[in-house]
Amino acid sequence: MNPAFPAIGAALIGLALGSIPFGLLLTRMAGLGDIRNIGSGNIGATNVLRTGRKGIAAATLLLDGLKGAVAVWLVVWLWGPVFGGVAAVGAVVGHCHPPWLGFRGGKGVATALGTWLALAWPVFAIAATAWLLVARLTRISSAGALGAMLAGTVAAAVLDAQALVLPVGAIALYVAARHRENIERLMLGTEPKIGEGH
């Protein structure tokens, strides 16, 4: 089989599953209106939390992670682990730029962690632990997210698997780039705490 076919298929599966906007769907079903008109305007769990509905925010977090994991698992089942990383990158890009929402989605943290769970659970475990610890200590969601991206990349490098380092590193850089405004506010000391502001 021409390797281009499964690579394209993996990317498309990742993009399709990643683009499911669970934050928007759940908040609308709960009668909360369009989540894009609240807080930062993102469709991810952190912004859903600004509605005050912790249960819906938790469900968004879980489903955004699950769609990334399912994309990778499906592609690995179809074409093998070599193409799992392609699906992982596709799922994160799909979440961040869903075509159904004018390519304006979330920042990709939960979906990234979901793909890492499917690619290599130790990377997920280390990154998720870092996310929780940093977010708890600072009470700043973006700080936790950036900590998770750094920890996941280091974990992948320590595992020393080339097929793992490339997709994990690419995803981490991409998600960090999505947080550039947050990074600027962190440096200025103006980044809001969890549940506040933007």
DSSP per-residue codes, the chain: --THHHHHHHHHHHHHHHT--HHHHHHHHTT---GGGSTT---SHHHHHTTT-HHHHHHHHHHHHHHHHHHHHHHHHHH-GGGHHHHHHHHHHHHHS-GGGTT-----HHHHHHHHHHH-HHHHHHHHHHHHHHHHHH--HHHHHHHHHHHHHHHHHHHT-HHHHHHHHHHHHHHHHHTHHHHHHHHHT-PPPTTS--
Q: What pLDDT score does 19 carry?
A: 97
Q: What pLDDT score does 192 carry?
A: 85
Q: What pLDDT score does 194 carry?
A: 74
Q: pTM of the full predicted structure?
A: 0.93
Q: What pLDDT score does 196 carry?
A: 61
Q: What pLDDT score does 49 carry?
A: 86
Q: What pLDDT score does 97 carry?
A: 96
Q: What pLDDT score does 38 carry?
A: 84
Given a cut of 70, the residues of the chain with pLDDT beneath it are 1-3, 161-162, 195-198
Q: What pLDDT score does 195 carry?
A: 59
